[in-house]
Structure 1
Amino acid sequence: MRKGNALIFFLLVIGFAVFIFLVSVGTFKKVGIDKIDFSFFKNVVRNIRLTSTYGGGGGSGRKSQTGGGAYNSPSKISSPEATSTINPQYIPKGFTAEQISLYFHKVRLSSVSAGSTYYYGTVVLTTSLKEKEALDVTGWQIKGRSGGQFVPQAIEIFEPLGLAQDWDIILRQNDYVGIYTSRSANGRNFRMNKCVGYLENTTHFTPSLPRYCPPPNRSEIENFSSRCYDYILSLDSCAVPRGNVALPNNDFACRDYLNTINYKGCFDRHRGDKDFLSHEWRVWSGSRFLDERHDKVLLLDSKGLLVDLYSY
């Protein structure tokens, strides 16, 4: 029996014993059972259950994939210093101070392109945050004159099977979000990492994913045959081996290594690197929401207040 459950059982036994004693001495007849306050026992049991479930008051928190799935309590996410007052000269024309977000200009619309029938549009959000600050932008809205797009959730660590859960996009210093009007080739939004270029071998994204994957570790291949060694080094960055590589039939170690030159192999080798995750997040809206010729684009926080404005 778990310690928490055993303690609950013990308290229930004690409570039952007290109940029998009070009945035997006629206390309930004098006072009335409806006037007895059992809230103390209820609170004790409730606290025991909470402690048993959450591990002793560590606080509940939204689970983050960063760091191998460690819990990222909201108390550990330092919100940026809010702009409690704003100089009237910085308030955009047509807006009042009450319509300005506490996070005004903490996130900027640094680049906006509506796109066309033949080319995708792009909106880039950049941050102006201090080193330990973080800001959750999921639920914020990019709004034009005739349409808009909410910032969705995304995968922080894109695992090889692509089954990772979406979480809120939390931006830190130097992070940025690229929002594209094209469709995601795999139906997911995600944070970039140093291995994502391998995904382009099987799925073609618009825009294309950068092909800047880590080169082979020469210490891992230096004992292979010369033909195998030279072939591995001849591969372009993020390229996977061909299926008909001319190698000696008994060069099993080389063939096994070639089978790891892909996204999964790169992910397994490098996911623990400090620089594995990029500062870039990519989001695909799947539809155009800005005017092709002229628009006034607003970035609104989760309360509908103005964070930034961009006109073209």
Structure 2
Amino acid sequence: MAVFLIPFLIILGIFAFEARDELVGRLDFLLPDFRLPVRESEPSAAAPPQQSILRQGPPEAPSPPLQEQGANVYADWIEISSVRRQDPYLITLRTDIPKGSELILTGWSLESRVQTFKVPQGVKLVPAGLDGAVFAPIVLEWGDSVKISGAQNPFKPKFSFRPNACFGYLKETTEFPVSVPSSCPSDIPKIEGVSHLSPACQDFILDFDRCKEPPPYPATSSFANDLQCKNFYENLKFQLSYAGCVKTHKTEDDFFDNEWHIYVNEEERLIRSTHDRILLKDPDGVIIDEYVY
């Protein structure tokens, strides 16, 4: 009888194998998803900031007023060094400006017990013939000094100026109450530069005076009709003049003198000839220096 049960058991096993997926699905439906609750950690409280153990220093002192700052700086940069009381009076300002720095003097003032004089603009490069003078603020640099004179201004129109290496030519025709350079660059050719000319022409040119314009070309000389000599003279004549000197040398480092010459209106005497007190003030009216005599 057991033999007859074998086919029946085989059929039952096949049926059970095919129904396994449906049985598993029913079990998933009957048994809900069971999970252990997980306790979330609470955020940790922020740690209080640590206080610095370094002690704070005393509060910074407030900056001094701008006028006081200017007085402290300029007092070391410029001063009244001397005063000549006799006519024409002369006031000299001496500077000690650091290299690379500058001081604009225009707008400053000199104040005595009788008058106040405000420094005007000036002409750094005096033009030939005084035409086309360019006025600009007077700027002082390291090593500069200032001469302030009550004499008559040597130029018309009147202006303050900075002497240069070519002023020797101007001294021929202009009287300067305050001394200016009397020398000038040596532009007169040497013998090597005129050796191609005739001997008489060479003697004529080599006899030129330094810092003076050449004399007129001689019309009755032995070389009067020497075109080579005459052309050489005409070219040299411009070079040996104030205009030619400026054109040739104005870009050289030592062309300008280290002085400014400023002329006060000669109709108004700035200082007393007896005793006085002179104040040097910056554009803000701050007293930078005082001179008593």
TM-score range, shorter chain: 0.5 to 0.7
Between the aligned partners of 1:170 and 1:267, the Cα distance in structure 2 is 21
Cα distance 1:294–1:132, how it changes in 2: closer, same or farther (>3 A)?
Answer: same
How many Å apart are 1:129 and its aligned residue? 1.1
How many Å apart are 1:309 and its aligned residue? 1.3
Aligned to 1:105: 76
Aligned to 1:295: 276
Cα distance 1:151–1:306, how it changes in 2: closer, same or farther (>3 A)?
Answer: same
How many Å apart are 1:282 and its aligned residue? 1.0
Structure 1 residue corresponding to 2:176, chosen from 187, 205, 209: 205
Rg larger for: 2
DSSP 3-state at the match of 1:278: coil
Report if the CA contact (8 A) 2:163-2:181 is conserved: no
How many Å apart are 1:223 and its aligned residue? 4.1
Structure 1 residue corresponding to 2:112, chosen from 134, 144, 158: 144
Between the aligned partners of 1:247 and 1:282, the Cα distance in structure 2 is 47
Between the aligned partners of 2:172 and 2:93, the Cα distance in structure 1 is 28
Report if the CA contact (8 A) 1:106-1:307 is conserved: no
Report if the CA contact (8 A) 1:107-1:127 is conserved: yes
Aligned to 1:282: 261
2:213 maps to a residue whose letter is V
Cα distance 1:147–1:253, how it changes in 2: closer, same or farther (>3 A)?
Answer: same
Report if the CA contact (8 A) 1:178-1:280 is conserved: yes
Matches within 5 A, 1:81-96: none
Report if the CA contact (8 A) 2:279-2:289 is conserved: yes
Between the aligned partners of 2:198 and 2:245, the Cα distance in structure 1 is 22
Once the two structures are superposed, what CA deviation does each residue of 1:152-189 show, in whole Å capped at 9, x if it has no partner?
Answer: 11111222242121110110000111111112221221
Between the aligned partners of 1:275 and 1:126, the Cα distance in structure 2 is 19
DSSP 3-state at the match of 2:257: strand
Structure 1 residue corresponding to 2:142, chosen from 157, 165, 173: 173
Aligned to 1:271: 250
Report the identity percentage. Answer: 28
DSSP 3-state at the match of 1:149: strand
DSSP 3-state at the match of 2:127: coil
Between the aligned partners of 1:222 and 1:111, the Cα distance in structure 2 is 52
How many Å apart are 1:205 and its aligned residue? 2.4
Moved over 3 A (4+): 96-102, 217-237, 244-247
Report if the CA contact (8 A) 1:105-1:308 is conserved: no
How many Å apart are 1:122 and its aligned residue? 0.7
Aligned to 1:238: 211
**Does 2:94 match 1:115?**
no
Structure 1: runs of 5+ lacking an equivalent:
1-83, 86-95
Matches within 5 A, 1:32-43: none
Aligned to 2:19: none
How many Å apart are 1:285 and its aligned residue? 1.1
Cα distance 1:135–1:155, how it changes in 2: closer, same or farther (>3 A)?
Answer: same
1:193 maps to a residue whose letter is N
Cα distance 1:276–1:227, how it changes in 2: closer, same or farther (>3 A)?
Answer: farther
CA RMSD of aligned residues (A): 2.6
Aligned to 1:158: 126
Cα distance 1:222–1:109, how it changes in 2: closer, same or farther (>3 A)?
Answer: farther
Report if the CA contact (8 A) 1:107-1:125 is conserved: yes
Once the two structures are superposed, what CA deviation does each residue of 1:6-40 show, in whole Å capped at 9, x if it has no partner?
Answer: xxxxxxxxxxxxxxxxxxxxxxxxxxxxxxxxxxx
Report if the CA contact (8 A) 1:156-1:191 is conserved: yes
**Does 2:164 match 1:196?**
no
Aligned to 1:32: none
Report if the CA contact (8 A) 2:201-2:223 is conserved: no
